[in-house]
Structure 1
Amino acid sequence: SPDREPFQLPRGKLVGGSSSVNGQVFFRGIPDDYDQWDQNGNRGWSYLDVLPYFRKSENDLTFGSDDFHGNSGPIPVRRYEQDELLPAPKAFLEACMAEGFQYSEDHNHPESTGVGPRPFNNVNGVRMSVALTYLSMARHRLNLTIRGDVFVQKIVIEEGKATGVEAESDGETFTIEASEIILCGGAINSPQLLMLSGIGPRRHLEELGIPVWNDLPGVGQNLRDHPSAFLLYDSYLEEPPVDSPALQVGMRYTTPGSDFMNDMQMTPILMTSEHRPANVELEEGRHYIGFSVALQKALGSGEIRLNSADPSDHPVLDYRYLTHPEDMRRMREAVKQCISITTREEFDGILKKRLQPVDEEILSDELLDQWLLSVVGTQHHSSGTCKMGPADDPLSVVGGTGKVKGVSALRVVDASIMPDVVRANTNATVIMMAEKISDEIDVW
C-alpha cells in the first residue's frame, strides 16, 4: 500500500529462535488447516497424522492427558482461570458472549470456536521457549554442539549435494561440513539463504550474479501471514504492575459471509508492556487498551526477494496485505465487530475513548478501507516461503519430510515449509512439524 510506511519485523536471532521473543500463545491451527495440506498432496500431514506430535510436545497443565492433549511433553501449557482475569480481558470475554459468541474453554480442541482463555507456554512468569525446554534436555549430548554468534552465509553444494555451510564468527570465515544440512532459519532467512546458495528462481539469481545450482521458482514465493490491524483505546483504569500479562483471553470466529471457519482472531492487549505496535505512541504513565483483529485465512500472498548477493543485506519483503478484495472485506467487518463489542456495557468504566481509528475514519467503507491500508501490519506469523508440496507442484520447494527438491542432503524445517499459514499462532505448529520430521531422519 502506498499509504503504509515500512514497518519493523522483529525475529528471534538467539538460542530458541522466535520462541524466545514471541507472545507465548501455544495455539494450534484447526483440523481443516492440516487436512488441506494432506489433500493438496502432502500425504501424512492430516490432522489425525499430526495430532500425536502436538500431544508429544506439550504438558497441558489444564487438561492433562486426553484424546487431544499430552501431559508428558517438554513444553508446559496453561490457561488463565476466571478469577485471574484482569478487568479488561474479563470485560472482553463477557462482552463477546453478550454479543452472541460462544465460550470456548479450550482453543486447542478440534471443534473450538468462540471466546476464551488463550493457551500459553508461560508458567509462573517464565517463558518456556524451546531453548529452555527442548535444548535444556539435550545440551549434555556428546553429538550436539550449540554455538551462538555464528552468521551462516551460504550452503556449500558440490555435485548436487549439500556438504556444509560457510559461516562467519568474530571476523573469521570458515566452513562447517556435515552429512546432512537442516535449515531452520524461519520463513524469511531460510529462503534468503537458499537463494544466496544458488537455489531459487533462476532469473532473479542471475540478475544478482549468483551461480544457479537449482532453479526452484517457488523459493521466496507464497509469503503468508495474518494481516493485522490495531484498535487503540484510552482507559479509565490505573496502570497495572509492570509484570501484568499483556494477553489473557482471545476470540477465534468466522467472519459473516466467509467460506473459511475461524478465519478471524480478536485479542485484547494491555498496552503497558513491550507488546505494542511500533507505530503506536503511548504517553508514559497512562493506561491504554488495544484490540488486535487479525485475518487468519488470507487469500492474498506475497514474496521475498534478495536485495543483493551480500548475505548481510536484508531481503525485500512484499506481503501484499489486503490486495484481495475478500481479505479487505473481512478485515473491514472485523473492525466493525470489534467496535460493536467495545461499545457494550461490559466496558463501562474501563474504556474511555477510541483513539484509533477515530470516528472520521470509519464514516464509510471507503474511509475504513483507507485506514486499514494505512495501518495493516504483521501478526508475526510469516510462513510458506519454502512451500511443502508434491513433486508436480511448480511452486513447491520441499517434500513431505522437508527435503529440498533437486538437492540431496538438505532439508528445511520451519514455518517456511507450511503450504499455507495455519489459522492460529504458528509456534505450536512449527514445533509439531519439527517433532514429526525428526521421526523421518535415520541418524542423529
Structure 2
Amino acid sequence: MARPICFWLQYFAFLMFIGPIVSYALPRPPRPPQSPQDPSYLKFVSNATEFPSEDYYDYIIVGGGTAGCPLAATLSHSYKVLVLERGGVPHGETNLMSQEGFLATLMEADTYNSPAQSFTSEDGVENARGRVLGGSSAINAGFYSRADDDFYKKSGVNWDLRVVNQSYEWVERAIVFRPELKNWQSAVRDGLLEAGVDPYIGFSLDHSVGTKIGGSTFDSTGKRYSAADLLNYARPFNIKVAVYANVERILLATSSPYMGSRLSAIGVVYRDHTGRYHHAIVREHGEVILSAGAIGSPQLLLLSGIGPRPYLSSWGIPVAHHLPFVGQFLFDNPRSGVSIVAPIPLEHSLIQVVGITESGAYIEAASNVIPFISPARSIFIWTPSSPLYLTVATLMEKIIGPLSSGSLRLASTDVRVNPIVRFNYFSNPVDLQRCVNGTRKIGDILRSRSMEDFKVRNWFGGHDFRFVGPALPVDQADNHLMEDFCRRTVSTIWHYHGGCVVGKVVDGDFRVFGIDALRIVDGSTFGVSPGTNPQATLLMLGRYVGLKIIRERTRYR
C-alpha cells in the first residue's frame, strides 16, 4: 500500500533512516598513509588477508570500537596487542568524517560494506550498529557527556574514581571539543530554561541537573573524531590492527586434566574476506577481550558455546560453559519527539544542548538540511530532476535507564548475520511515565517565546508549527493520549546496552564467570545507560580497564 507524503517527509527527517539492505560486497583494503595529514595509526592497520594463518599476542581484542580502541592503545604500551575489526577504516570516507554526512551514513546502512549495519528489532524499531574501526563512535551524533553519579554506585563495579577521571581526561584531550551554538541549538537552550529545566550550567562535560552544553567529537570545522583516533597514542611496534576480520569463535581449553581444572580462553578463529581462516593465540598470562558491543559480544559468546545449555543445544552448538544470562537483560532507551519544518534557514547541528530533568527524561535537539526524495518505484509521487531541500529541526526526549529489558537470540550460526533482538519498550510502566514526562516537557518548550521564530503563518492568519510526522497531542494533560503518543512514535537513540551484564555474565572486573583469560569490555556489560549518552563512558572504560590490567600484571611480576 502506498504511504502518504507525510510519511516520506518524516522518513528523511533527522534521525530517520532506511531499513536494511543486505550486501556482502568485497571490502576495500585500508588506504595506506598518503600525506602528513593521515592519522599515524594507519601505519599498523592492514587488511586481514595480510595476516599469517597463526600468530601469538599478549592481548587479542575483538572489536575496534568505542571501548576497544582506547583499550588497545593503552595495553600496547606494555604488551603485544592484536585488534580484530570486522569493518574498514573511517579515514578518507567523506560522509563518515563530517557532521553533514551523519544522515547519509545511516541512510546507506548495509550498502557496499557500509560502516553502519542496520537491524530491526522484533519491536519493529529500526536501529544501527557500527561496522568500522572506531565502532559506533564513528557513525554517531558526536555528543560527549560523562556518566551520572548513580551509574558508578549501581553498576556493580568497584570503580577507582581517581583513575576514572584520569581516563576521561585522557580521552578529552585527544578528541573532545566545545561546540559553537547557532540558531536552533541556542533557541532550544533558551526554551529549556523557559520551560523550567534549570539551572543553566553552560558548557560542561559533567552530568548535572539543568540545561547544559555538552562536548562534541566534531571539531569547529565539522570534522569527526572517533575512538579510532585514540590509536594514534598506541605504541606502533606493539600493536597490529586487522580490518575486515570476522571473528567466528573463541578458542577454549581446559587448564588441567585433573579435578579443579578451569576452562580458559586461548585465542580466537577469524576469517578474512576471501574466506581464509586465521588463528590468533594468546601467550601465557594473556587474555582474549571482547569489545564487540551489546550485539556482537553476546552473539560471539553464544557461537562459542558459552550461554544457556538448553538454548545452545537447540542450535546444535557444543556447550563449552553453561552461563544462563548471556543475551539476557538487553536494554534500549526509547526515544520520542517531534520534527518541524522551519521557515528560516538552519545550520546543520547534531546534539549539543541537553536538558537534564528530575522527572526521568533528557531533552535533546538537532537540525539538518535534508533532501526530500520520493520513494523509489512509486508511481504516485513525481520526482523532480533536482532534489528539494527541507530545513528540519528536531526536539526529542530519551528516558533514563531504562527499566524495561529484552533479550538477544541467534538468527544464524554465521557471525555476519545480525542476531534477533527484542527490547520490550515500555513493558515497565515507569518507563512509559518517564516518556510522558519528557514529551510534556517538549510541549513546554514549544510553547516558549524562544520557539516563536520557528512557527509559520497558517490559513487563518495565526502562527503554528509545521510538523513533519506526528505532532504532540493537543491535550497534554491527558495521560492516556500522551502514553499513546509515546507508544506510536517510539524510536531508538542508539544507546542499546546489556546482554553480558555485570553480576550476571561478568564480574566487577569484567571477567566472564567461570572462564579464565576472557573479559568483556564494552556496553554489553552495562545494566543502565550512563547519563545522557554512553559514548564518553565507553571511551573512558577502554582506557580505565587497560590501565587496570597493566597495574594488575605489574603487581604479580
TM-score, structure 2 length as denominator?
0.66
In structure 2, the residue matched to 1:278 is: none
Q: Is the 8 A contact 1:34 1:46 kept in 2?
A: no
In structure 2, the residue matched to 1:302 is: 406
- Whether 2:441 is the aligned partner of 1:337: answer yes
- Whether 2:134 is the aligned partner of 1:16: answer yes
Q: Secondary structure at the match of 1:146?
A: strand
1:120-139 to 2 correspondence within 5 Å?
120-124=216-220, 125-132=222-229, 134-138=230-234
Q: Is the 8 A contact 1:92 1:342 kept in 2?
A: no
- Whether 2:265 is the aligned partner of 1:162: answer yes
Q: Is the 8 A contact 1:239 1:285 kept in 2?
A: no
Cα separation, 2, equivalents of 1:99 and 1:397? 42
Cα separation, 1, equivalents of 2:541 and 2:308? 26
Instruction: Decide which of 48, 51, 55 is 2:165's aligned counterpart.
Output: 51
Return the index of the structure with the highest Cα Rg: 2
In structure 2, the residue matched to 1:183 is: 290
- Whether 2:154 is the aligned partner of 1:36: answer yes
Cα separation, 2, equivalents of 1:362 and 1:322? 21
Q: Is the 8 A contact 1:88 1:347 kept in 2?
A: no
CA change 1:408–1:85 in 2 (3 A) is same
Q: Is the 8 A contact 1:222 1:302 kept in 2?
A: yes
Instruction: Decide which of 65, 75, 96 is 2:192's aligned counterpart.
Output: 96
Cα separation, 1, equivalents of 2:168 and 2:233? 18
Cα separation, 2, equivalents of 1:404 and 1:4? 28
Q: Secondary structure at the match of 2:237?
A: coil
State the AA in 1 paired with 2:219: V
In structure 2, the residue matched to 1:258 is: none
Cα separation, 1, equivalents of 2:434 and 2:224? 33
State the AA in 1 paired with 2:531: R
Give CA deviations for 1:247-303 in whole Å, capped at 9, x if unaligned: 332211111xxxxxxx321112103269xxxxxxxx931211111110022221111
Cα separation, 1, equivalents of 2:473 and 2:402? 27
Q: Secondary structure at the match of 1:405?
A: coil
In structure 2, the residue matched to 1:146 is: 241
Q: How far 1:362 sits from its partner (Å)? A: 5.8
Q: How far 1:95 sits from its partner (Å)? A: 1.6
State the AA in 1 paired with 2:529: V
Cα separation, 1, equivalents of 2:276 and 2:475? 56
Instruction: Decide which of 213, 221, 236 is 2:343's aligned counterpart.
Output: 236
Q: Is the 8 A contact 2:370 2:392 kept in 1?
A: no
- Whether 2:476 is the aligned partner of 1:366: answer no
Instruction: Decide which of 314, 324, 329 is 2:418's aligned counterpart.
Output: 314
Instruction: Decide which of 505, 526, 531 is 1:418's aligned counterpart.
Output: 526
In structure 2, the residue matched to 1:253 is: 357
State the AA in 2 paired with 1:200: G
In structure 1, the residue matched to 2:177 is: 78
State the AA in 1 paired with 2:480: E
Give CA deviations for 1:384-421 in whole Å, capped at 9, x if unaligned: 211122xxxxxx21122221111111111111112322
- Whether 2:536 is the aligned partner of 1:440: answer no
Q: Secondary structure at the match of 1:423?
A: coil
Q: Is the 8 A contact 1:105 1:116 kept in 2?
A: yes
Q: Secondary structure at the match of 1:192?
A: helix
Instruction: Decide which of 398, 403, 422 is 2:506's aligned counterpart.
Output: 398
Name the structure where strand makes up a greater proportion of residues: 2
CA change 1:338–1:359 in 2 (3 A) is closer
Cα separation, 2, equivalents of 1:430 and 1:216? 24
Q: How far 1:361 sits from its partner (Å)? A: 7.8
CA change 1:217–1:336 in 2 (3 A) is same
Cα separation, 1, equivalents of 2:370 and 2:362? 21
Cα separation, 1, equivalents of 2:295 and 2:225? 23
Q: Is the 8 A contact 1:182 1:413 kept in 2?
A: yes
Give CA deviations for 1:320-354 in whole Å, capped at 9, x if unaligned: 11111111111012112101211222111213323
Q: Is the 8 A contact 2:145 2:206 kept in 1?
A: no
Give CA deviations for 1:24-45 in whole Å, capped at 9, x if unaligned: 11111111211122xx4x32x2
Q: How far 1:304 sits from its partner (Å)? A: 1.1
CA change 1:115–1:34 in 2 (3 A) is same
Q: Is the 8 A contact 1:20 1:129 kept in 2?
A: yes
Cα separation, 1, equivalents of 2:397 and 2:472? 18
CA change 1:95–1:378 in 2 (3 A) is same
Q: How many residues end up aligned between the 2 structures?
A: 393
- Whether 2:133 is the aligned partner of 1:25: answer no
Cα separation, 1, equivalents of 2:336 and 2:249? 36
Q: Is the 8 A contact 1:107 1:113 kept in 2?
A: no
Q: Secondary structure at the match of 1:145?
A: strand
Cα separation, 2, equivalents of 1:216 and 1:385? 12
In structure 2, the residue matched to 1:381 is: 495
- Whether 2:172 is the aligned partner of 1:172: answer no
Give CA deviations for 1:350-402 in whole Å, capped at 9, x if unaligned: 1332344336686743233233222212211121211122xxxxxx2112222
Cα separation, 2, equivalents of 1:163 and 1:342? 57
Give CA deviations for 1:208-252 in whole Å, capped at 9, x if unaligned: 111111111121111123211121112111254xxx333332211
Work out the percentage of aligned pairs sharing the same amino acid.
27
State the AA in 2 paired with 1:432: M
Q: Is the 8 A contact 1:246 1:272 kept in 2?
A: no
In structure 1, the residue matched to 2:453 is: 349
Q: How far 1:157 sits from its partner (Å)? A: 1.0
Q: How far 1:5 sits from its partner (Å)? A: 6.5
Report the aligned-residue RMSD.
2.4
Point out the more displaced range, 434-443 or 410-419. Answer: 434-443
